[in-house]
Amino acid sequence: MQGATCTVCSKQLKMNIQRLLITIGIVLLILGLVWPLLQKLGLGRLPGDIAIERDNFRFYFPIVTSIVISLVLTLLFWLFRK
């Protein structure tokens, strides 16, 4: 009996991983399509984002943008769970 149970668990795990990978792919696709619109809204260059530009060197770390995106996603996930 344990062999049958393990096979069922294995199939469910594979299905969950497949769904997760498909969901991640769809989210990345949507983000790729929406990214130019977000840049026009100024989401990529908020005050507090670290930008260092030198002669042959450019470093950009969007820390405030990351925090804003994290807060928005946290709020959305919290709302959808209720």
For residue 10, pLDDT over 60 is answered with yes
Cα 9 to Cα 79: distance, rounded to the nearest angstrom: 30
Are 37 and 48 part of one and the same domain?
A: no
Indicate the number of domains in the chain: 2
Name which of 18, 61, 21 is nearest 10 in CA terms.
18
Instruction: For residue 2, give both structure tokens.
Output: 């344990």
Task: Verify that 72 and 62 share a domain, yes or no.
Answer: yes
4 and 26 belong to one structural domain = yes
Same domain, 69 and 50: yes
Is the pLDDT at 1 greater than 60, yes or no?
no
Q: Which residues pair with 52 in a beta bridge?
A: 59
Side chain identity, residue 45: R
Please tell me the predicted confidence (pLDDT) of residue 80.
81
> Containing domain of residue 75, as a range?
43-82
So what's the pLDDT on residue 3? Answer: 54
Residues 1, 37 share a domain: yes
pLDDT band at 29 (very low <50, low <70, confident <90, very high): very high
